[in-house]
Structure 1
Amino acid sequence: MGLVASVLVGLVALLHFYILVLEMFLWTTPKGRKAFGLTPEFAEASKVLAANQGLYNGFLGAGLVWGLVRGDVATQAFFLGCVFVAGVYGAATASRKILFVQAVPALVAGIALYLA
């Protein structure tokens, strides 16, 4: 079960690095606009805010990788909790889709980590 938990934590980290790329570098591109359902005008007007969001998502991914590299379950659990809370908040305030893209994977990884 430890291997399964590590793989799931790694996948959540990779997801957040992907979100970093979307928000920091692809926000105004067709791929970025499609991912977030943005008009070209809104994407251009909000690109600095999106880059900031992307940086925070990168920190979440980095924290998860740090916990994996150190073999530190508490660090992994902390960052999974952060991802979960961010996902629930994002679902409540921005898009319900965030619940399934961000919060649910973090919850599943957290459960696997607990069971390991």
Structure 2
Amino acid sequence: MLFVTLPYLLQHAVASGLPDPPAHETPSIITTFRVLTMQLASNILVGLVALIHLYILVLEMFLWRTERTRATFGITAEFARESAPLAANQGLYNGFLAAGLIYGLVTGNTEFQIFFLSCVIIAGIFGAITSTRKILYVQVIPGAAALALVLLAR
């Protein structure tokens, strides 16, 4: 439940902290610059998270049995051979996360970005609990930073 409400709480905490300008006032050039800078920063981080997940797709679907990938994941050649179908399935899911983030970027749809970043964070937390803590640094922290910027840029 916490993960579902976190984006909502962040969005409303940010939105409630800034009063709306009167309808007759136009935003200043500085305000406009700040908004555009925040949007650019959020787009860069969302793009980075998407690229991370495309890279994971390639590792898990196509390079799973290579020596370098085995070293990255700390697995033996035998385990890599036996788990290749499972790894490919995981890679495909990472590809879907990347596709959703890329769609959100291309269309400017922040709802898509928020949804897929939330999925990245939840999947990363689950992976950190059930697999390795490194996932916190590879998926959760970049995903949470991107989510925070997307919400701040709204």
TM-score, normalization: structure 1? 0.99
2:62 pairs, out of 11, 15, 25, with: 25
Shift of residue 34, structure 1, vs aligned partner: 1.2
Q: Residues 2-23 of structure 1: CA distance to partner in whole angstroms, max 9, x if unpaired?
A: 0000000000000000000000
Q: Tell me, what secondary structure is at the counterpart of 1:46? A: helix
Shift of residue 37, structure 1, vs aligned partner: 0.6
Q: Tell me, what secondary structure is at the counterpart of 1:20? A: helix
Superposition map of 1:1-116 within 5 A: 1-116=38-153
Q: Residues 67-99 of structure 1: CA distance to partner in whole angstroms, max 9, x if unpaired?
A: 001100010000000000000000000001101
Q: Report how many residues are paired.
A: 116
Shift of residue 32, structure 1, vs aligned partner: 1.1
Gaps of at least 5 residues in structure 1 are: none
* Aligned-partner residue type, residue 53 of structure 1: Q
Whole-Å separation in 1 of the counterparts to 2:138 and 2:50: 12
Over the aligned positions, Cα root-mean-square deviation in angstroms equals 0.5
Whole-Å separation in 2 of the counterparts to 1:31 and 1:82: 28
Q: Percent identity?
A: 59
* Aligned-partner residue type, residue 43 of structure 2: S
Shift of residue 35, structure 1, vs aligned partner: 1.3
Q: Residues 21-51 of structure 1: CA distance to partner in whole angstroms, max 9, x if unpaired?
A: 0000010001110111110010000000000
Larger radius of gyration: 2
Q: Tell me, what secondary structure is at the counterpart of 1:10? A: helix
Once superposed, which parts of structure 1, at least 4 consecutive aligned residues long, lie more than 2 Å away?
none
